[in-house]
Amino acid sequence: MTESQPPRFAGKRVVVKVGSSSVSGDNAAQIPSLVDSLARLHRTGGEVILVSSGAIATGVPFMRLDVRPDDLATQQAAAAVGQNILVGRYQRALSVHDIIAGQVLLTANDMENPTHRDNAKRAIVRLLQLGILPIINENDTVATHEIRFGDNDRLAALVARLVGADHLVLLSDVDALYTAPPNVAGATRIARVPFGDELAGVEIGATQSGWGTGGAATKVQAARLAAEAGTEVLLTETRLFAELLDGEAHGTVFEAAAGAH
């Protein structure tokens, strides 16, 4: 597909979630190419919302820590440092395309409180109307272990439901959902999951990177949460996103419930 041809999801409201391992450490170099794809959707009439993990992982090296901290206070401190740096990296990449980012930080309580939830929806929708690209993350500096989303896959699904997104794209370091963990002999890619399919016989692992908090199981749960509200979900690898927009058959699609929007 050439640049003159519309990409997949053109003209649609799309929530894109990217995991910590894809945008932190050495993989922070992937941010400009990711942003190139987001910008392509943006300029072809799409309403794009980015849900980005990575604040803690980004902040840790600047705090001279060798590993992800276990205690909540240090995680919160790392998030405060990393969120600033992470959004700055996104904005530098977006500026090449004359796009401005708008930072939105949410907690689980915000999505459960009707007033907070309505305020968040109003702000996000207004940002989209103004041509701003919202970048959403959990507000780690005020979240506690008891009220955290647990992972940003769930946050992205809740955001997709909140704004009535047409599509949710879950990007990570795994290219698709498989019938078993990808490193198991004989595992095959699942191209489509019909709505309501319980995936009987599929061995869904809970593996995760050293930085992220999610795994295949959390992605499937998030996909189901969004799909039941009428949002089609596509799970694939971050580095394949551009090819996906070109129409390449990557990843796993979770079909949306009919007539849910």
The dihedral sign for the CA sequence 90, 93, 95, 99: negative
Which residues sit in the known binding site for substrate?
A: 53, 140, 152
Query: Where does residue 189 rank: exposed (0-12), middle (13-18), buried (19+ CB within 10 A)?
Result: middle
Which of 45, 61, 59, 62 is closest to 9 using CA atoms? 45
Which residues sit in the known binding site for ATP?
A: 17, 172-173
Residue 200: count of CB within 10 angstroms of its CB:
5
Percent helix, percent strand, percent coil in the chain, to nearest 5: 40, 15, 40
d(CA 12, CA 4): 17
Give the length of the chain.
261
Query: Where does residue 31 rank: exposed (0-12), middle (13-18), buried (19+ CB within 10 A)?
Result: buried
Which residues sit in the known binding site?
A: 17, 53, 140, 152, 172-173
Phi, psi angle pair for 134, to nearest 5°: -70, 135
Instruction: Answer yes or no: are the C-beta atoms of 55 and 19 closer than 8 Å.
Output: no
